[in-house]
Amino acid sequence: MSKQLALVIDLNVCVGCHACVTSCKEWNTSGEAGSLSDDNPYGRDPTGTFFNRVQTFEVGEFPNTQTVHFPKSCLHCEDPPCVPVCPTGASYKRAEDGIVLVDYDKCIGCKYCAWACPYGAREIDEHQKVMKKCTLCVDRIYDELLPPADRQPACVMACPTSARLFGDVHDPESAVSQAIRDSGGYALMPEWGTHPANHYLPRRKTEITLHRDELERVDNPLKIDGKLPKPDIRAPSLDDSTSW
């Protein structure tokens, strides 16, 4: 089976710090494909092109609520609906590693691919007038000038809680595949048959189960400790034999 690179995002440890957002923007706005343009970055109504966003949801009803921070980027679907609709072939899925990419030199900016993505993962660059999306930092992960540990997407490198894992989800022994298996990794909107390559690990409650026998000393079954007689009130104590 061919390779399918993907991110696995652990919602249990994401703290919603947006470090992945800024790191992604920094790397991808500085790349050879050109900047990710912004308008009014310091003005009243700032807007711009991003590949990655962190959203926040509240689950439950007060006071029993959980805050879920939810990073969202292109899921690099195994069956991407955005690719076949592209009239120019600018949108494509790479056979060798499964990354869904846009050829910015072929894109005509018709936005049909964005309509065809149920996740809203694509954003048009309002100045270059071409569609942009997460590339899994394709210009980084294969760069042999970087030390091997740095050949990872910028968002993964930036995450302070290691909530983002990167790897080949088709390799059953990879860290991402094991995480999906062991921690109940799931895909978003499975109802559309897009088979996203990116997976999310659910929030998990950290619980300690204590059994009754763990509260007692196993080597004291008759509770002999408790049956020791108390010393008599007149018996000599430490104070009697020690002078200060």
Partner 1 sequence: MRPAFSVIFLTTLIGAGQGLFIALYVTELGALLGAWAVPPGPYFALGCALSLVLLGGGLLASFFHLGRPERAWRSAAMWRTSWLSREVIALPAFMAAVAAFGLAHYLRGAGDLTLALGAAGLALGLLLFVCTGMIYACLPFLQEWHTPLTIINYTLFGCASGFLLGTVWAAAHAPALVTASALWTAAFTLAALVTRLASLARNARLKPKSTLQTAIGVKHPRIAQKSEGFMGGSFNTREFFHARSFASLRAVKWAFLLLVFPVPLTLLAAGVALSSWPVLALAFALQYLGLLAERWYFFAQARHPQNLYYQAIS
Site string for partner 1, 99-138 (x = CB under 8 A): -------xxxxxxx-xxxxxxx-xxx-x-xxx--------
CA dihedral 151, 143, 130, 29 (to 10 degrees): 70
- Residues 140-179, mask of contacts with partner 1 (x by CB under 8 A): ----------------------------------------
The dihedral over CA atoms of 60, 63, 65, 69, expressed in degrees to the nearest 10, equals 130
Q: Answer yes or no whether residue 34 interacts with partner 1 by CB under 8 A.
A: no
Which amino acid type is present at position 174? S
Q: Tell me if 223 sits within 8 A of 242, measured CB to CB.
A: no
Give the binding range for partner 1 (CB under 8 A) out of 139-147, 158-166, 188-196, 222-230: 188-196
Q: Any contact of residue 200 with partner 1 (CB under 8 A)?
A: yes
10 Å CB burial of residue 31 (0-12, 13-18, 19+) is: middle
The contacts of residue 150 (CB under 8 Å, 6+ apart) are: 140, 157
Contact call for residues 59 and 68 (beta carbons, < 8 A) = yes
81 interacts with partner 1 by CB under 8 A:
yes
Candidate list 47, 161, 220, 237; residue touching partner 1; CB under 8 A: 47
Binding site for partner 1 (CB under 8 A): 18, 21, 40, 45-50, 53-61, 67-68, 70, 72, 81, 83-90, 106-112, 114-120, 122-124, 126, 128-130, 186-192, 200, 202-203
